[in-house]
Amino acid sequence: MAGPEPGKRQDGRLRERRIVITGAASGIGLATSRLFALEGARIAMIDRDAAALAEAAAGIGPAAHACQADVGDEEQVGRAIEQAAAAMSGIDGVVNAAGVSRRQPFTEMSKADWSQVLRVNLDGPFHVCSAALPHLRAAGAATVVNIASGVALRPIADCAAYAASKGGLIAFGKALAVELAPYGIRVNTVCPGIVETPMIRRSIDSYADPEAVTQKLFERRLLKRFGQPQEIAHAVLFLSNDECAYVTGSVFAIDGGGTMH
């Protein structure tokens, strides 16, 4: 199938595109939802936190549809995707941003701890892509963007389950890129470094000296700061529109130089 004509859309880089975004009530998913709506997309926001989701969608306005679901639950995802497709009359793209992190030494990790992370971070994108696939195929020139993590490229201590889930997500994205290219569906992965969101705040605050940890983390990055959710959202925007119609199966580190240094 031929790709779309580059630069075809005139008003807003995502005009007329219908995108499902998971983890949309907070952090990177919320920043992506806001940016996509500004760029003319219709969006279906999925999150398990019903109250935060309703508030986030209301703040964005009529372009946003709230579809509450736990991405780890296949049935809930199936219902949310059908709700999204009905509300937007189809689906042109998916952004898998829902995720959980867990800081825990491997020596203390139970099977249940491991499974809790894999269920959301890896089963979740599987459920979403699987349910959305018929709609993405029908749309043609569709996109999938998965949010993995720099931790999958350069693991740190106490994150075996998280690193494995995100490493699996990178491989899943590449495998899907191969299988879905014949349908005109592009699949790419973004690996954020440390981004200032509630997730990272919770993680840093769990250390005895959060300020010292923050300074140490700054030092490890070429740009000596954390990223902002909008900076990740702009990378996802690039991958979700026709300007990069020749990009698929790629893995983009957006991390202030954190993984190459």
Ligand X SMILES: NC(=O)c1ccc[n+]([C@@H]2O[C@H](COP(=O)([O-])OP(=O)(O)OC[C@H]3O[C@@H](n4cnc5c(N)ncnc54)[C@H](O)[C@@H]3O)[C@@H](O)[C@H]2O)c1
Residues classed as catalytic: 162
Write the CB contacts of 186 (distance below 8 Å, at least 6 apart in sequence): 142, 143, 144, 177, 180, 239, 245, 247, 248
Smallest gap from residue 243 Cβ to ligand X (A): 23
Regarding 195 and contact with ligand X (CB under 6 A), the answer is: yes
- The residue written with tokens 């509300």 in the block is 87
Contact 159, 114 (CB under 8 A): no
Residue 256 touches ligand X, criterion: CB under 6 A: no
User: Least distance to ligand X from the beta carbon of 149, Å?
Assistant: 4
Q: Minimum Å distance from CB 230 to ligand X?
A: 12
CA angle 180, 76, 110 (to 5 degrees): 90
Choose, by CB under 6 A, the member of 85, 97, 128, 185 that binds ligand X.
97
Of 35-43, 70-78, 84-92, 107-115, the window that binds ligand X (rule: CB under 6 A) is 70-78
93, 173, 184, 192: which one contacts ligand X (CB under 6 A)? 192
* CB-nearer residue toward ligand X: 50 or 86: 50
Question: Which of 47, 92, 123, 231 is in the footprint of ligand X by CB under 6 A?
Answer: 47
Q: Strands 93-96 and 143-147, how do they pair?
A: parallel
Residue 258 makes contact with ligand X by CB under 6 A = no
| 207-230 residues labelled b (16+ CB within 10 A) or e (exposed) | eeeeeeebeebeebbeeeebbebe
Q: Which of 88, 122, 153, 194 binds ligand X (CB under 6 A)?
A: 194
According to the binding rule CB under 6 A, does residue 144 interact with ligand X?
no
Binding residue (CB under 6 A) for ligand X from 149, 189, 240, 259? 149
Distance separating alpha carbons of residues 71 and 126, to the nearest angstrom: 9
Distance CA 30, CA 25 (A): 5
Q: Is 29 in the site for ligand X (CB under 6 A)?
A: yes
Residue 131 touching ligand X (CB under 6 A): no
For residues 88 and 66, is the Cβ–Cβ distance under 8 A?
no
CA dihedral 126, 128, 132, 134 (to 10 degrees): 30
- Binding footprint of ligand X on the chain (CB under 6 A): 22-23, 25-29, 47-49, 52, 70-72, 97-101, 120, 147, 149, 192, 194-195, 197-200
